[in-house]
Structure formats: C-alpha cells, structure tokens
Amino acid sequence: MLNSSSHTPIDYVIVDHISQSFPSSEGELKILKNISFHIGESEVVAIIGPSGSGKTTLLNLIAGIDTPTSGSITIWGTEITRLSDDGRSDFRANHLGFVFQDFLLLDHLTVAENVMLPIEMHGLEARFSLEEILERVGLTSKTNSKINILSRGERQRVAIARAFIGKIPFLLADEPTGNLDTKNSQKIMDMLLNFAEELGVTVLLVTHDPEIYRRANRVIDLATFA
C-alpha cells in the first residue's frame, strides 16, 4: 500500500479514456464517452455538466466504487482500475476522503463515532485528534449527539471532519452544499477549501453552483466531451 505521506513526483490523478455504459431497456446507455484529464497535486478541480451527464458516475469510478466499461484511472501511482474489488476498497479507505450531498453518515452513531470511522475501522493515520477536528468544525458541543438530531449544515460539518481527520491526499466531493441555503453553503465551502489548502489535499468537486466552481483552480465541463 502506498503511504500517502511519502509523495513522489508522479503524484496525481490520471483519468485516461474512460467510458461507462449501463444496460437499459433501449439497449446500452452510454453515459461517459472517452473522458480524459489529469489532476495535479493540491489542485482543486470542479466537474460541471448537466443533470444526467455522468458527474456522479465519474466520481464513483474515481472512488473505485464502480469500474468503467473501458479506460484506466491512476491515483497516486496506483492504477485502481486494475485492482480487485477488495483492493479498490482498501485503496479508497487509505487514500480518499468523501463529502457528498447526502452526507453518507451513519445515523445511529454519534458525531464522535462517525468522525473516528476512518481511523478506527480502516486504521488510517490520524492528522488531528478528535477534539481538535471537532473544535475546528465548531461541533465540540455535539460530540456525543446522534447524527439524526443535527441540522443539515451540522451534518455536512461532521462529513468534513471525517474526511480530513486522517492523512488522505485526495478528497472527492459530490454537490457538497446541494441541500444547504446560501449562507451555510458558503460556510461549508470555505471550511472544505481551507482544510484542503492548509493540508495540501487535492480536491475533485462536482457542483452546479457557479459561486463554487469559480473558486476551483480548474473547471472540467463534461458537456465538452460529448
């Protein structure tokens, strides 16, 4: 397993001629067609494109949750598209952080338990103590609260704390502010981008929101690959 703290000059994400199709009642549904791009270390890249253009599909491929019909994805020198299912899960647990629109938090666990999952379940090396990270996201008073009593903005702050508590080099975010009002949305983005900048974490972010994608170093429009 690659150690995320020992980066080499090959460190980046390479998406190389990716296509993805799904079976449908009208035959094969081609979602992604020959998508290629690179992401440099510590870059913040936004993926945009109309609803249904395959943004989430692409993120699932890069996360190794799904495998493409063709093409390859290399992350920090590991070609994840050649790994087994278990290999990809392992890689994901050790290298990637996630902040998604529907949070992906475990409702029956507390804030502390959710935040500690990457460290306790996957043995990821910690970058912050639990107390430190909860203080940073302003959730100290909610440490022992169950997720289901939290507001949407608070849940997204839990997701951010969980994403950044371990030493991950790469964060994937899918519409991280999609369900939040403008004020909360801005607060969450500030928090996410500040952590990424401070820690040198590379970010791939899916968004519809021009206020958000104009803050990225680079924007990739899936419509331009059609």
Ligand X SMILES: Nc1ncnc2c1ncn2[C@@H]1O[C@H](COP(=O)(O)OP(=O)(O)OP(=O)(O)O)[C@@H](O)[C@H]1O
Please give, one letter per residue, the 3-state secondary structure of 41-71: CCCEEEEECCCCCCHHHHHHHHCCCCCCCEE
CA distances from 152 to 68, 81, 148, 182, 189 (A): 32, 34, 10, 13, 14
Residue 57 found at the interface with ligand X (CB under 6 A): yes
| Closest CB to Mg ion among residues 56, 186 | 56
Q: Least distance (Å) from ligand X to the CB of residue 186? A: 20
Residue 54 found at the interface with ligand X (CB under 6 A): yes
Site for ligand X in 25-44 (CB under 6 A): 29, 31
Q: Least distance (Å) from ligand X to the CB of residue 55? A: 4
| Closest CB to Mg ion among residues 55, 88 | 55
What are residue 13's phi and psi, to 5 degrees? -105, 130
Residue 21 found at the interface with ligand X (CB under 6 A): no
Q: Which of 7, 37, 43, 56 binds ligand X (CB under 6 A)?
A: 56
Residue 69 found at the interface with Mg ion (CB under 5 A): no
Cα-based torsion angle of the residue sequence 101, 102, 107, 111 in order, rounded to the nearest 10 degrees: 0
- Choose the one of Mg ion, ligand X, none that binds residue 57, judging by a C-beta under 5 to 8 angstroms depending on kind: ligand X
Q: Least distance (Å) from ligand X to the CB of residue 200? A: 27
Distance CA 40, CA 174 (A): 19
Stretch that binds ligand X, among 48-56, 71-79, 83-91, 163-171 (CB under 6 A): 48-56
Residue 53 found at the interface with ligand X (CB under 6 A): yes
Beta strands in 65-200 (DSSP E): 70-75, 78-79, 96-100, 170-174
Residue 224 found at the interface with ligand X (CB under 6 A): no
Maximum separation of any 2 CA atoms in the chain, in Å: 53
List CB contacts of 49: < 8 A, sequence separation 6 or more: 55, 221, 222, 223
Site for ligand X in 157-196 (CB under 6 A): none
List CB contacts of 76: < 8 A, sequence separation 6 or more: 2, 4, 7, 10, 11, 12, 13, 95, 169, 170
- Choose the one of ligand X, Mg ion, none that binds residue 54, judging by a C-beta under 5 to 8 angstroms depending on kind: ligand X
Residue whose CB is nearest to Mg ion in the complex, by number = 56
Q: Least distance (Å) from ligand X to the CB of residue 52? A: 4
Q: Which of 19, 21, 56, 179 binds Mg ion (CB under 5 A)?
A: 56
27-40, strands of its sheet edge to edge: 27-40, 12-24, 70-75, 78-79
Q: Interface residues with ligand X (CB under 6 A)? A: 22, 29, 31, 49, 51-57
Q: Interface residues with Mg ion (CB under 5 A)? A: 55-56
